[in-house]
Chain A
């Protein structure tokens, strides 16, 4: 049992190790994304400063805590975004799924390992420099308590896993429709609002907050960023983790079941 786990970890570790190498291949893409991110941070920061120009609190939150939250959310958002629906769509429409299904490894575990490695790569190469930019030019401050960082990391990993399983279920729809673009746009649009990337979920009308609570987007962004920014107190961390674990307990078996059904519908386009 232990040796099996070690063998598996060694395989998925090797897959993960390829991701940073792949990442380095596209420097133009990297810089384009960095510029986009910097602009987004400046614009979002300015927008919220303008909102707070006429009042000291909005939705019970002060200017400082909101802006801090929003800037941190901008840093963390790329760590929970992987375009899985489009990737699955590409695999199904161009027949690459045939190759995936003839590998002696679990496709879902493979994509999870790659997604996690891509996020860790982004954390180092994108979020790091962007955090420095935020600190130098936008007045962004970071918590000094290591416990807060620990709580954030645990919550980010749990949220990542929950959202991964959710996205996997949505991506399986591609096996039936063989068309991914519309689904991807819908997912990204909904996620932008309900993850708390643009507005702290606490500020949303109660109806939208209820909707946000039944989809896992917030689990992957609002909860970890809330802990990091102080919007969710450290004492609330264990409860937040339990909720995230509950999401995983429900979504993981469901996602595996959905995939096992969807894979029967595979037709493999193009001969």
Chain B
């Protein structure tokens, strides 16, 4: 059985359509007008137990709406959702027992109370065996470095501390499925690293299925083997991360450091472009379907004295930019399943 099964899922919002100004406000008061907005449009996918899936898309693409339907908060307008064999909206409370959710900008912790008070209460609510709770609390305290935070009220915590606390609260009952909505938003590199390590560890130890929405491609690269990408409520890509890199990382960048300025009118192989040129630095971008890094380097070496060079890995951010800007429609569908 899939951990999550989504079939033809659709969500249509009815939103107030108000003209600007006082006149518009008065009009809306007397005769409110509404328009419909399709937030999620005929979406289908399956997620197997133990997978970590990156769910990505631009702002307003429908990511959060999907997560809210998967968690049972929103009722779908059409289609079917099943999480661990349950309809999350109709069986909301039973479903809640099996899942954990982090909404990046909201907290499930009691604002005024010490973290340990919130965790103790969550342990009660989810009826965790006291010995198991103690053991997990110990493990989490180690991995997330919660030691001193346990006695601190949430309101006095920094953003990074709060997110560590939030993750502990979300995973302490060992949920089968976890939804992480922007868990690393606004955090520094060190905290991000710690959080990613924690998510990886829980996935490895407990086999937790993780759905991760993020704008941070570092999260995706580090955690996800699979990526589902949506745009305007529709799925535009579903497949392995490696394939997406392979497919859209057509261009690579090589930076060469030369003893003297490279001569003008440098002869370069086909598919190579000069991206930047300073006194002793030459940045070249090449199409790796037409030429190779060694051919490019050899061509430059024949014409200038090269001291050092560096080959950059395909950058996921630029790949995603390409995909968002419609590169998929012109791509060939041999990797992943492009819709």
- Verify if B305 is at the interface (C-beta below 8 Å from A): no
A268 and B73 in contact, given A99-B103, A99-B108 (Cβ under 8 angstroms)? yes
Fill in one digit per residue for A95-129: 1 if any B CB lies within 8 Å of its CB, else 0.
11111011111100000000000000000000000
- Verify if A271 is at the interface (C-beta below 8 Å from B): yes
- Verify if A15 is at the interface (C-beta below 8 Å from B): yes
Contacting B113 at CB < 8 Å: which of A21, A94, A267? A21
- Interfacial chain B residues near A97, Cβ < 8 Å: 73
Determine the distance from Cα of A10 to Cα of B75 in the docked complex, in whole angstroms: 31
- Verify if A18 is at the interface (C-beta below 8 Å from B): yes
Q: Check B121–A102 contact: CB distance below 8 A.
A: no
Q: Check A266–B113 contact: CB distance below 8 A.
A: no
Chain B's interface: helix, strand, loop or mixed, by majority? mixed
Give the distance to chain B from A43, nearest Cβ to Cβ, in Å: 32
- Interfacial chain A residues near B273, Cβ < 8 Å: none
Q: Check A102–B99 contact: CB distance below 8 A.
A: yes
Contacting A21 at CB < 8 Å: which of B64, B71, B72, B117? B117
A103 and B96 in contact, given A10-B124, A25-B112, A266-B74 (Cβ under 8 angstroms)? yes
Determine the distance from Cα of A15 to Cα of B334 in the docked complex, in whole angstroms: 54
Give the distance to chain A from B114, nearest Cβ to Cβ, in Å: 9
- Verify if A190 is at the interface (C-beta below 8 Å from B): no
Give the distance to chain A from B203, nearest Cβ to Cβ, in Å: 20
Q: Check B113–A264 contact: CB distance below 8 A.
A: no
Chain B residues 301-332 with CB under 8 Å of chain A are none
Give the distance to chain B from A28, nearest Cβ to Cβ, in Å: 13
Chain B residues 247-261 with CB under 8 Å of chain A are none
Interface centre among B64, B68, B121, B153 (most CB of A within 10 A): B68
Q: Check A22–B110 contact: CB distance below 8 A.
A: yes
Q: Check A104–B126 contact: CB distance below 8 A.
A: yes
- Interfacial chain B residues near A11, Cβ < 8 Å: 124-125, 127
Give the distance to chain B from A74, nearest Cβ to Cβ, in Å: 27
Residue ranges of B at the interface with A (Cβ–Cβ < 8 Å): 13, 64, 68, 71-75, 92-94, 96-97, 99, 101, 103, 105-108, 110, 112-113, 117, 120-121, 124-127, 153
